[in-house]
Amino acid sequence: MMAKHVLRSGQGAGAWGLGGLCTALALSTAPAMADEMLGADFAELRGEASVEAILFPDDPLFPGQEDQSLSFAFEPTGILEWNSVEGLGGADVTATIRPFFRVDTQDDARTHADLREAKVDLRFGDTDVTIGNDIVFWGKTEVDQIVDIVNQVDGVEGTDGEDKLGQPMVAVRRIVEAGAFSGQASAFYFPYFRERTFLGTESRLRNGIVVDGNDARYETGAEEWTPSFAARLAGFYGDVDAGLHVFHGLSRDPAFEFTSPTSLRPVYGRITQIGLDAQYTSGATLWKAEAIGRFDQRNLAFEKEDYAAAIAGVEHTLYGIGDSNADLGLIAEYAYDSRGSNALTPFENDAVIGARLALNDTQDSSALFTAAIDTETAETVLRLEAERRLGDSFKLEIVGQAFFNTDEASLFNSLRDDHSLRITLSAFW
């Protein structure tokens, strides 16, 4: 039944996901590998299955939208590990496959599948090589990571942009030790481009004008086979952790053009980005900053513009508040984008304050509250996330989200009635 949904969704993401799955299957069934598989030094199959309900207290703004949504997700992970493989120069080899499936009973756009990971990691001493689909995280700040460019956003999974699609890549990483600096230098080659997934007409939390993700246009001849490249140096020196990167290739952030007065399509063009992310750890206080300069990116007005963006902030943790075991983390960040109202991101001149409470009990109960406030328009997004483990293998997560000051001119205008409460119950094995 899952497979049927995958086929039916017909989206680019789904298609690639399936393609990747086939590749992985082909790899794993190759006769040469069969003997090795039996000889694996470590093998594990684990996973997570969840049921998610989203409730919208206000009536929907657009026809076809519903007041609630119920969906199921399934994410198994398979790992095989071989130590010191002779034929590969004594490398340690790990093969990982992690597909992801979601079936939404109300919203067809959210029913999708992806290969989050389908990769082989090879380790030669201080050098690591990764081949296949993988997710790579870059960044230091909490609310948004502007430097995090490797993976495409899975736009139908959540609204916070933290869910990413698996990116096909060849990555070579090498440990770098220079004096007191310790870190890793990495070079990436991305042969294939992942298109963003977009919510459909019946989805809540969608843009006023629907984006047709399947109608994407490329400004490069090779389209999704346009290669991208990146290099990164990340590590730490004393109390400072920092990363530097350069990226050249298709922008993960599409610009949009109208195909009809009620329809937009994403346009992907080639960009170059350089960026820096850093964190200074001073006792219980973490100072964080990210900055990028990006060239040739089309903005909201569909003009090519070179721009700079930065996020800086601080996180301070109060340990053992009120003589309990609970810790309270206070977060303040500010995001700036030189494109101003032409930015493709809502975080163009925004202050974010937040608090993270961790009870440090045996059930790892924790809560995160954030308020993102646009310093010019006063648009405000409030968000509360709370989670707690139930027993040994279940987890309950509740996310509430509300939008304020969403007037006509606001990017969030179409979300003004989409205050929501999401409840997720997950099982792990």
Given the complex with another protein, which of 79 and 300 has the nearer CB atom? 79
Helix/strand/coil for 252: coil
For another protein, give the closer residue by CB, 48 or 305. 48
Torsional sign, CA 142, 146, 147, 153: positive
SS3 of 4-58: the string is HHHHHHCCHHHHHHHHHHHHHHHHHHCHHHHHHHHCCCEEEEEEEEEEEEEECCC
Q: Specify the DSSP class assigned to residue 197.
A: P
Distance of CA 171 to the CA centre of its chain: 19
Instruction: Find the shortest distance in angstroms from Cβ 47 to another protein.
Output: 9
Residue 134 beta carbon to another protein: minimum distance, rounded to whole angstroms: 8
Residue with Cβ nearer another protein (83 or 259): 83
Q: How many other C-beta atoms can be found within 10 angstroms of the C-beta atom of residue 347?
A: 20
136 or 267: CB nearest another protein: 136
Residues in Cβ contact with 149 at an 8 Å cutoff, skipping those fewer than 6 apart: 138, 230, 245, 247, 252, 273, 275
Q: What is the CA radius of gyration of the chain?
A: 22
Nearer to another protein, 42 or 225 (CB): 42
Shortest distance in whole angstroms from residue 60 CB to another protein: 30
Q: At closest approach, how far in Å is the CB of 363 from another protein? A: 8
CA 224, CA 165: separation in Å to the nearest integer? 14
Interface residues toward another protein, by CB under 8 A: 42, 44, 46, 48, 79, 81, 94, 121, 123, 125-126, 128, 135-137, 139-140, 162, 173, 175, 177, 182-184, 234-236, 239, 241, 279, 281, 283-286, 317, 319-320, 325, 327, 360-364, 389, 392-393, 395, 426, 428-429
Cβ(418)–Cβ(58) under 8 Å? yes
Rounded to a whole number of angstroms, the minimum distance from the CB of residue 67 to another protein is: 29
Select 182 or 262, whichever has its Cβ closest to another protein: 182
Query: Shortest approach of another protein to residue 375 CB, angstroms?
Result: 25
